[in-house]
Structure formats: structure tokens, C-alpha cells
Amino acid sequence: MSDGSRPDAPRPEDAPPDTRSAGREVLGAAAALGRSLGVFVGRAGGASYQAARSGFTRALDARKQRQTARPARAPREQTQAEPSLARPSPYSRFTALRAASGKRPILAIAGGAILLPIVLLAIYIFAALLTLPPLGSGVTVNGQRAITVEADDGRVFATRGTFRGQKLTAADLPPHLAQALIAIEDRRFYSHFGIDLRGLARAFWRNLRGGGVREGGSTITQQYVRLVTLNQEKTLWRKTQEALLALRAEATMSKDEILLGYLDAAYFGAGAYGADAAARRYFGKPAKALTLPEAAMLAGLVRAPSQLAPTRNLGGAKERADVVLQAMVETGAITPKEADAARRQSVTLKTPPEAPPGTNYFLDMIAPDLKRLAGTDGDITVRSTLNLDLQSLAEAAVARRLDKDGARRKVGQAAMVVLSKEGAILAMVGGRDYEDSQFNRAVQAKRQPGSLFKMLTYLTAYEKGFSPETVLVDRPVRIGDWEPENDDSRYRGPVPLRTAFALSINTVAAQLGQEVGIPAIIATAKRLGIQSELPNVPSLVLGSGAVSLIEITRAFGSVLSGLTPLDTYGVNAIRGGDPKPVYVRSDPAGTASLPVEPRTMMLDSLQAVVESGTGRAARVPGQIIGGKTGTSQDFRDAWFVGMTPDLVVGVWVGNDDDSSMNKMFGGEMPAGIFHDFVQRASALLAKGKARKAVSAARAEPASPAPPPPAPQTVGQDEVRGVPSVIDTGTLSFRGRTVRLLGLEGQGGHLARQLAGYLRRREVICTGPGETGARCTLDGADLAGMIVAAGGARAREDAPADLLDAEDQARAERVGMWGR
């Protein structure tokens, strides 16, 4: 051949491929493919693809033309950079594509980066749209029915459950309520299309500047669809569906229909769903009768109904109402003059504040009875047996003793039950603080009653022929492996049963139990209302079986009333929507009674305990008192159950973890609590005195009537002027110190508040001396005002009016008693 090559030399197309060249081609083709795929996405993808395809075609055509035109070269002159045209590489197409599309890589990448999120967002919104629930398909309220609870004298003191009013119509909607809601929640309600982009931008900017979520951008329409269709989850998915539903609502409903629907579905606190329910719950009137200040208060609740509910925080609700009124002025709904007039107009609640925390133990206890007696349908009003005056006294008696000696004697908890002679539960203290623990120690706790159980042992013996004069010997006793001992480790020899019971002698009770038999004592306990399981063991006579406070108090009540068992109850009547009551309590038929003679002997023995035995701390001068003390092993429980001719009172103290107290006997703190309660309760019941109902609004309380002025005599010392405050019980008049009669003053912020209140106001104090002075401010007793506001404690020897004021402050959790 002319080129000098050998005839058998391999042709270029037969030469083995160079692996390094092939690898470079693979990488180049992959890069070109990646760029090409990016070009394919979006609007620019089509044009780029056509350009690449045209370039690729032109490249192939040019290559074919070069192949035809140029002469063949010797194989040895071919380089690795020139692949054979006779056998094209499988990656040559992508190489050409890369060359064609590489002219506009920036456009391809930018188009993909911009359009890909848009495509994904469109897919997300489409998915949300496909799964969108029907408008109004959600359940707005699924709570228990509304229950209004009255005390035994008809005073409403608690509400529970869900209140539903009437659905509003355009004719029922008070203009001020609509204007107030729009002003504070969505000022552009009538101009946006369900989503307020301007409001969202404003909320975003303010939240960004504030460093947190301070303002929301949801419209009334969005809030409405969330209430009636969606849940309250704070997720992007829910917000997307909320926006789509808002658009749908705006397209299918009028603005007024949306506004009415929102007012019917919104929660206004205190169990009230809907504006009409809230108007009736707080103000005792339908929504259409709301005044401007009342409408402003309701409109202000929807942002934080649980926090601002007037029954819980009337001050906060009023402050929020002022903000609403200002917003109405800014939107032109009312004039500044109308706003000022509305602020001056008083807002009085027609229902009381939230139930005093201590009464919740009682409310929890009667809840199962309400379901059983009244069924499950319809709102009800319950006339309970609770006496609010006695309840307040009971809580105060327990709190004072625990505050005074609880820490020193290692006593953490206490419980108390007060029964009428007929079995009505007049007061109940289930623990030291309901907000800390809802466990009702008066009903749910089962503890060993100790010597309290001896009452059942002695009653069984009296029914079997023994009498208080029967003599047994106080001596060491062994019954099987059990050897009971007396608390003082003494033995008194022969003693009558009346004395043995009064002194709570254990050895005599053990012998008596063997005489009458443990099964007979258990039968007596069951007959008197003890429902707990009792062990058939000799130590049962000393209270080794666990019982509840209400059970053992009920047993003592059976002795007082003579009924076996005494039927304890907390509900007198239940009313529904119809005039006819749903339930009225009637006396149980066929109730057995205790034999007169054993019952009389038992009452005499109980009286001996208080007169000369272990219960002397329970004595109240001028009162006939009977009772029994009880102390369980290792001082884990201390009890006293006592009675007057009208009441039966059971008291328990101890610790929830069953730890031992500091040698606390039933004749100490429990008997002392009984004494404190009965001393004041008896006087209250005897005089027929009923303290006024807790003010429904407390923020709008009637000014307390000043107590009778202290008697003044000629020459009686008097100090007057503008005082400085040392503490809330001690004033200084130009260097002369005056203590307020009956107060234990408090310092700190309470003293500063009193100082601010008394600034530039004259105080008149009469009869200052070592015991203290009576001081008046504008004719009202200053000490009573301070105690009623929770600014000081009343001393144990304080006048009755100060003790009453402290009880009320404790119950309402004001001042120093607040949490």
C-alpha cells in the first residue's frame, strides 16, 4: 500500500478501545445528562431541549460530512482523541448533547431552582385540597352538660360542664358585639376574601421585631372554619386546610353568616360556648340584651377565654374590655365619649366567681350521684346540702391549725366532714389544698381509726347487757400472740366501762371484745354504715381495720340520730328545663333504729370522753359535746369524731405517705380543730346568722357595713391623722405606734399596698393600748378591710367579725391567700 503499512495490519475500527478515554467519555456524558435534565424542568426546559436536539443533529451531520470528504488515514496515525467513525462510541450522543446545552447552563439551573419548589408547593396544596373535610363537619363541643350547683339556702356557688345558649340570628345580634369583635379581632373583615395578606404581613413583622409570637394573622373567617371543621393543632397542614376552607366559606356564605357562625361556636370561658351562652352565664341575660361594656368584655374573651373568664379573673377581663373599647374608637364604631361612658358603667356578674377551691371536694363527691339521679340529658340545677357558712368555718379551722402546728408536729394533711343530725353533708374538707391534690381524704382514703373504733365495741357490749357502770379490770392481757398495752403503760385495776371508755384504756377494750365476740362487733359496724372490709381479729377493737372518715363519722351520726344506718347525702333536689323537679329527696322508708337504752348509754360515754377523758380539748363552754379520740399505731393517724345536739363532726390528720407524725394524738390537733369549728358554728346556727353570699363579681362588691363603733367615754385616748405603715397590722402617727386590734401584720408588698391605699387619707384610732386599737377609715373598720382583702391574719383571740373576714378571704383566695 502507498502508506507503507502491512497488508495484515488491524483497521482502526478493529483496535481495542482505550479504557481511560472511555472513562472520560462516561463522566462527560453523565455531566451533560445532568444539565440536560435540569433544562427539561419548567418553562425554559422545552426551548433548551429543542436547542440541544438541533445542536446534536447538526453535530452528527457535520461529522458524517467530514467522514465522507477526508481521505482515509493509516491506522498508526489515528490518535486516542479521535474515536473511529466506523464504530461510534455509545457515549458520543451525550457528548454532543453536552456540547450543545453547555451554551446556557446558568439559565437551566436557575429555572430548575425556581420552578421545582413551585411544583412541590402546587402538589402540596392539591393534596390538601383533595383531603379537605366538608365545611362544618367538625364537632365544636363535646363536653358534659351544664350543672349549676346551689347551697342549701339557694345561693349558687359552682357551675360545671358545658353551657350552650341559643343560636344567634341577625335580629338577635347586638350591633355593639359585632363591632367589638371586628375591632379587636379582624378590622378588615368586610374587605378581605377570607385571608388577610396585609394582616399576615403586619403580624409577621411585629412578631419578628418582638422576638416571638405576639400577634396572629388569622381572620375571623379562618377562626370560624377552624372551630367548626378542623382541630386546634398548630401544623402547616392544618393552616393550609384552614386557608382553603376560609376561601370556600367566603365563596359560599355571606359575611354576616360567617360572623354569626363564629359567635355561636367561639369559646368564652367558664364552660360557655357561643355568645348567647356566655351572656347568660356571666350576665344572666340573652346576647341581644348586652350593653356596650358587657359586649366589649365578651369580645375581649375570645383571645384567652380560660385566662380572662370573669368568674376567674374579673380584673383582667375588665382591662381587656378597655382595650376593646379603645379599638372600637379607632375603627369609628363608637366615639371617645361613648367609650368613656362605657368604662364608667359598672359590669356586675349574675353568677359567682369560680367555686371556692375547697368546695370542689364536695362537688367531686356528688358528681356520680347526679348522673345516677338525673340521667345524662339536659342541663340541670342542683340544690345541694352544702352550707357555705359552715364550709368556710371548716376550711378555716383546718387551715389555722395546720399553719400553726403542722410543720412542727410533722402533720401534712387533714380532712373534715360535718353532718346534720339527719345525715345531710353540710361541709367537707378533703385535704389541705384542692389545687395541689384532688384526692379526697374524707371519702377516698382508708386509714386505721385506732381507738375511735372502740365506740362500736362498747355499743355492741351495751346492746348485750353491759352498762357504763359495769366494772372490768385494767390489767395485762394476752389473746393468742397479741398483747395490747395502754398508751401510758399504766394499769389502773378495776374501772367502770364509762371511765375506761373516757380514758381509752386498751386492755379493757380488748377484754370487752372477747366477751361480746369480734363477729358481733363487725355486725354492729355494718349496721351503722361501715362498708369497708373489717378483719375478724382481736385487734379490731383497737382499730386495726381501715375505714374512711365519712364512714366512721356516719357511724357516730347513727348514735346521735338513732337511725341505722344514717343515710348520708349531698343532694336535696335536681331541676331540669321543666318546672317539675327531676329529683326531690325523700326520707328513706323502713330505716331501723337503735334501741333507746344502749344508745343513751353510748351517748353518756361519749360525753364523758370530752368532760373528763382524752377529748377534753374539744370542750366548748356552754355546749353539750360528746366524742371519741383515736390514734393509730406509730402515730400515723390521729382522729376525733364529736357531736353536738345538731351536728356530727369528723376530723382526721396525718400524712399521705403514711409516715409517722411527731407523737400526735387524737386529743390534740383533731380535737382542737373540732373545738375551733364548733365554737363558732354553734353560735352561728343558734343565732340564725347567715353570712351574705360571696359577691358574684367580687370586683363589684357591696361595701361591707361597718361594725358598731367602739364605745367611747369622756377622755378616751384618740389618735388621728395620715399614718405611715410599719406592717399591715401596725401604723405610725408622727412617731406614735398603734397596733390594730386582732391583727397579725404582714410586711413586704402587702404593707406597700396598704401604704399606697392610705396615702393622704385620714385614719382615726380609738382606745390604743397594749391589746391594740380599733381604727376606722371613712367610717369603716380598717382592720376588717385589711383582713377581707387578704392583707393580714386575724389572731386567735380576734373579734368574731375579723375571723369571719379572714374565712371569706381564705375561701376566695385573695391577697396573702392567693396562689
Show the cell assigned to 119: 411544583
What pLDDT is stored for residue 143 in this prediction?
Answer: 56
What pLDDT is stored for residue 362 in this prediction?
Answer: 96
What pTM does this model have? 0.69
- 528: which DSSP letter? T
What pLDDT is stored for residue 238 in this prediction?
Answer: 60
**CA dihedral defined by 448, 450, 458, 587, rounded to 10 degrees?**
-40
Print burial letters for 620-657: b (CB count within 10 Å at least 16), e (below 16). beebebbbbbbbbeebbbbbbbbbbeebbbbbbbbeee
Report the alpha-carbon distance of residue 754 to residue 791 in Å, rounded: 8
Report the alpha-carbon distance of residue 546 to residue 295 in Å, rounded: 55
| Count of Cβ atoms closer than 10 Å to residue 539 Cβ | 19
Where would I find the beta strands (DSSP E) of 481-556?
493-496
| Cα-Cα-Cα-Cα dihedral sign, residues 205, 208, 211, 212 | positive
Q: Which pLDDT tens digit goes with each residue over 70-96?
A: 555 544 444 444 444 445 555 555 455
What pLDDT is stored for residue 508 in this prediction?
Answer: 97
Report the alpha-carbon distance of residue 272 to residue 569 in Å, rounded: 29
What pLDDT is stored for residue 26 in this prediction?
Answer: 33
What pLDDT is stored for residue 231 in this prediction?
Answer: 60
Asked if 543 and 637 count as a contact pair (C-beta separation under 8 A), the reply is no
Structural domains of the chain, ranges and CATH numbers in brackets: 12-108 (no CATH), 162-344 (1.10.3810.10), 395-687 (3.40.710.10), 718-817 (2.40.50.90)
Q: What values do phi and psi take at 774, rounded to 5?
A: -90, 120
Show the cell assigned to 329: 374608637
Q: Which pLDDT tens digit goes with each residue over 596-639?
A: 999 999 999 999 999 999 999 999 998 999 999 999 999 999 99
Asked if 777 and 754 count as a contact pair (C-beta separation under 8 A), the reply is no
Residue with cell 385535704: 431
Could you report the average pLDDT of every consecutive run of 10 residues in the chain (819 residues)? 39 40 38 39 41 49 57 47 48 51 65 72 65 60 75 88 83 88 90 77 60 62 81 64 80 90 90 90 89 94 89 88 94 93 87 78 93 81 94 93 94 97 96 92 97 97 96 94 91 96 96 96 96 95 96 96 93 86 83 91 97 95 94 96 96 97 96 95 67 38 40 55 89 86 86 83 80 85 88 84 83 73
What pLDDT is stored for residue 92 in this prediction?
Answer: 54
